[in-house]
Amino acid sequence: MRIAVLGGDGYCGWATALYLSNQGHSVAIIDNFIRRLWDYELGAQTLTPIRPMPERLRVWEELTGRSIELYTGDVTEYDFLSSCLREFSPDAVIHFAEQRSAPYSMIDRKHAVGTQVNNVVGTLNLLFTLREFLPDCHLVKLGTMGEYGTPNIDIEEGYITIQHNGRTDTLPFPKQPGSFYHLSKVHDSHNITFACKIWGLRATDLNHGVVYGTTTEETAMDEALINRFDYDEVFGTVLNRFCAQAALGYPLTVYGKGGQTRGFLDIRDTVRCVELACLNPAARGEFRVFNQFTEQFSVLDLAHLVKTAGEQMGMPVAIENLPDPRVEAEEHYFNAKHSKLIDLGLAPHFLSESLLDSLIEIAVRYRDRIDPSLFLPRVNWRKAKNERRMDAGAKAVHTV
């Protein structure tokens, strides 16, 4: 297939682009590299050293003989996006080109507005491009389980059948997003639903859980292909933060009681889920939703797993509870369905002790790059303005 990966320089996008190329698909990356600028804005860097994109692509072609096309620009610019997609003419478009951090969206007004402009406008531009020029192209959009929130009922895959006053209907599952970022993803879902209904587009929403892991078969081929390992309090995942803290002998910082429970999946499953969606496209006019995760853990579960793994590796690890800077339930019911991708053929990887060991080993290998000041939360959901080192970055979200 011909597959365009929007946001192919990011964590999920890079691993996906390499995987799809390695499977024999023709791949193009579209990116403006603003994710790297956000690191600069926040005074943070990924634990693993990321090479410039031209070097990454050159090494990939030298190793595999497969080339990946690159288009540099911003998806919020309609003329640029439509020109790229018309030229490449993909069978499927993978949409990763969004600001994906909830804490980043909650820094202040500019970051909230910048997040929603970037995400919602980019998706709308993509929808209009598909309508005008590529009506048969399948849109695969990376959604998030965070759209659902934490309801006190089982979470279905996108839709729920309800009975009300003697009548029955199947409706979109209620959305309870917890940040301006998650709200932007809900807006995306509504806009895509509407576009499929009125224009006959085809789309799949992959509501993914928290993704972990740095290594795939492809990124392990050469140091130049290594993927991101974000551990800071804005873009880092809780598991990455715990591994980095363990590597330095720093207490694992659990927000609140630690009962916050989410779905998780290995990066190797992420790339496979994307390919399965591409190989089994939605029908014309269909907007379908797959919940993309394989296991669920609480924050405290993960802390104890990392503590045990670290101690077995000879590193004493302590756990410390901090006041929760987020507005969220610290203990709640969580049971989400996730069978559709399994039905399509996903063979999941699970968070085993050996994988935890490898994550901690990566943190140890690059621990000279760890900045402990990035562990502690500085973004508070309850404040309208948070202290940051730089304020101009929010403008860059929609002007670069």
Helix (H) or strand (E) holding 319: strand 319-322
d(CA 283, CA 200): 9
Burial bucket for residue 296 (CB in 10 Å: 0-12, 13-18, 19+): middle
- The residues, ordered by sequence, that sit 6+ positions from 134 with a Cβ below 8 Å of its Cβ are 85, 86, 89, 90, 93
Say if strands 319-322 and 252-255 run parallel, antiparallel, or are unpaired: parallel
144 is catalytic: yes
Asked whether 336 and 176 are in contact (CB, 8 A), the reply is no
The tokens describing 311, both together, are 């101690």
Where do the domains of the chain lie, and which CATH numbers do they carry? 2-399 (3.40.50.720)
pLDDT of res. 391: 45
129 is catalytic: no
Local structure of 259: helix, strand or coil: strand
- Which member of 11, 71, 104, 181 is catalytic? 181
pLDDT of res. 1: 98
- pTM of the predicted protein model: 0.95
What is the DSSP annotation of 202-246?
EEEEEEE-EEE-S--TTGGG-GGGPPP---STTT--HHHHHHHHH
Asked whether 178 and 112 are in contact (CB, 8 A), the reply is no
The sheet that has 69-72: what strands, in order across it? Answer: 69-72, 26-31, 2-6, 92-95, 138-144, 202-208, 287-292
Asked whether 6 and 30 are in contact (CB, 8 A), the reply is yes
Percent of the chain with pLDDT over 70: 96
d(CA 334, CA 155): 8
- The residues, ordered by sequence, that sit 6+ positions from 281 with a Cβ below 8 Å of its Cβ are 92, 138, 202, 204
Asked whether 147 and 174 are in contact (CB, 8 A), the reply is no
159 is catalytic: no
Point out the residues of the chain with pLDDT beneath 70: 384, 387-400
At residue 160, φ and ψ (nearest 5 deg) are: -140, 135
pLDDT tens digits for range 27-82: 999 999 999 999 999 999 999 999 999 999 999 999 999 999 999 999 999 999 99
pLDDT tens digits for range 282-295: 999 999 999 999 99
The sign of the CA dihedral 305, 309, 312, 317 is negative
- Which member of 16, 144, 215, 219 is catalytic? 144
